[in-house]
Amino acid sequence: MKHNIRKVQIFKKEVKMKKLFIALTIFMLSIQIVYASEQIEQNEAEIQIEAQKDLAAILQWSVKYRFSPDIKVGDKIEYKRIKDPNEEIDISIEVTKEDKDGMWIVEKFDDMEIHMLVDLENMKLVDFFGYDEGELIPDPPLVTENEMNKRIKVLNKFKNGLAMFGIPQYWEDNNSHETMSTKSGTYDCMVLEPAFPEEVKDKAQDEKMVKELCERMKLYFSAEVPKLIPFDIAKYAIGSSEVFEKIPGGLVKNDVIEIKEYKK
């Protein structure tokens, strides 16, 4: 319990951190609604170190669910936000160069850049660094495999408590395919559907609203697109790793972003 409370407090104060951690912060701040029960004093340096380790754990753990081993230099996807279609590119992911230890993959979103060196043979993160508004973020850590698994287990436990707040417990592949049309083209898509515990469905006052929520939250993936899945989508793999590992290609659309163009 003490460890869990410490995790909540870290993310409650994390809003002062650099934007590299925004996606993780939003995910974890919602957890405190359920679990925050007392206050623990920690200085900002300790808070930032713990948040960096959580970020590293998710980046390391999610490599084999975000990327495919056959990606190559030049593969790239650009996304736009559905609610702001007139804005410039919001998210891009590109395989930029080959290294003796693997491939460098660069993800850009807002004013951020994350550079990841990925060993595609073993599907492991070898190194990473980031920029915030052009400023290098110093010394982001990698964690050991044991620590990575421990932190992912804690995150998954927290996530499972959020079903009542509209956060899916896991994602299902019901062998359904849909044709999805976007401005960049038409794609045959594998569909992942959000899943909630039966007790949550039973307590829902409006069954129609639950069905509409599930429909709206679907994730669409296509083998036509290189498997370079955005970090903000990768967090959904927590609790659904087997399903995400079988995804044949990249994300085409969800309720927040839509593919703008890609190179393969």
Structure tokens that stand for 155 in this block: 């995150």
> What are the pLDDT digits (tens) for 209-260?
778 878 888 999 999 999 999 988 888 898 899 999 999 999 999 998 999 9
Q: Worst-scoring range by mean pLDDT, 27-36, 90-99, 205-214?
A: 27-36
- Residue 47 pLDDT greater than 80, yes or no: no
Torsion of the alpha carbons at 256, 114, 67 and 243, rounded to the nearest 10? -50
Q: Does the pLDDT value for residue 84 go beyond 50? A: yes
Closest CA to 161 of 199, 192, 193: 199
Confidence category of residue 169, pLDDT binned at 50, 70, 90: confident
Q: Which of 129-133, 158-162, 168-172, 184-188 has the largest mean confidence?
A: 184-188
Question: Quick one: pLDDT band at residue 132, thresholds 50, 70, 90?
Answer: confident
* Mean pLDDT score across all residues of the chain: 80
Whether pLDDT at 5 is above 90: no
- The pLDDT, as a whole number, for residue 222 is 97
- What pTM was computed for the model? 0.79
- In order of 50, 59, 60, 158, the CA distances from 143 in angstroms are 11, 10, 8, 20
Per-residue pLDDT band at 136 (split at 50, 70, 90): confident
Question: What's the total number of domains in the chain?
Answer: 1
Instruction: Look up the domain containing 78 and give its range.
Output: 2-263
Helices (H), 37-132: 44-66
Rounded distance between C-alpha atoms, residue 58 and residue 38, angstroms:
26
The CA radius of gyration of the chain, in Å to the nearest whole number, is: 18
Residue 52 has pLDDT above 90, yes or no: no
Q: Residue type at 16?
A: K
